Amino acid sequence: MLTALFGGTFDPIHYGHLRPAIALIKEVGLTQISLLPNNIPPHKPQPEATTAQRLAMLNLAIEDMPLFSIDTREISQGNLTRPSYTINTLQKWRSENGDRAGLAFIMGQDSLLSLPTWNNWKTLLDYCHLIICRRPGYAEKTDNVELQSWINAHQTKNSLDLHHSPNGYIYFAHTPLEDISATEIRKNINNQQSCNNLLPPKVWQYIHAQGLYSAKKS
Ligand code: ATP
Strand partners, 86: none
Site to probe by mutation for ligand 1, drawn from 18, 110, 179 as the one with most ligand atoms within 8 Å of Cβ, is 110
Prediction pTM value: 0.96
Q: Quote the pLDDT of residue 218.
A: 42
Q: Quote the pLDDT of residue 216.
A: 58
DSSP structure class, residue 22? H
Ligand 1 atom, smallest distance to 13 CA: 10
Say if residue 149 is exposed, middle or buried (CB neighbours under 10 Å; 0-12, 13-18, 19+).
exposed
Reported as a single tens digit per residue, the pLDDT across 134-174 is 999 999 999 999 999 999 999 999 999 999 999 999 999 99
Q: Quote the pLDDT of residue 12.
A: 98
Identify the residues whose C-beta falls under 6 Å from ligand 1.
8-11, 16-17, 20, 107-108, 110-111, 133, 135, 178, 180-183
Residues of the chain with pLDDT under 50: 217-218
**Distance from residue 145's CA to the centre of ligand 1 (Å):** 24
Residue extents of the structural domains in the chain: 2-178
Q: Quote the pLDDT of residue 212.
A: 96
Q: Cα(139)–Cα(91) distance, rounded to whole angstroms?
A: 29
Q: Which CATH architecture has domain 2-178?
A: 3-Layer(aba) Sandwich (3.40)
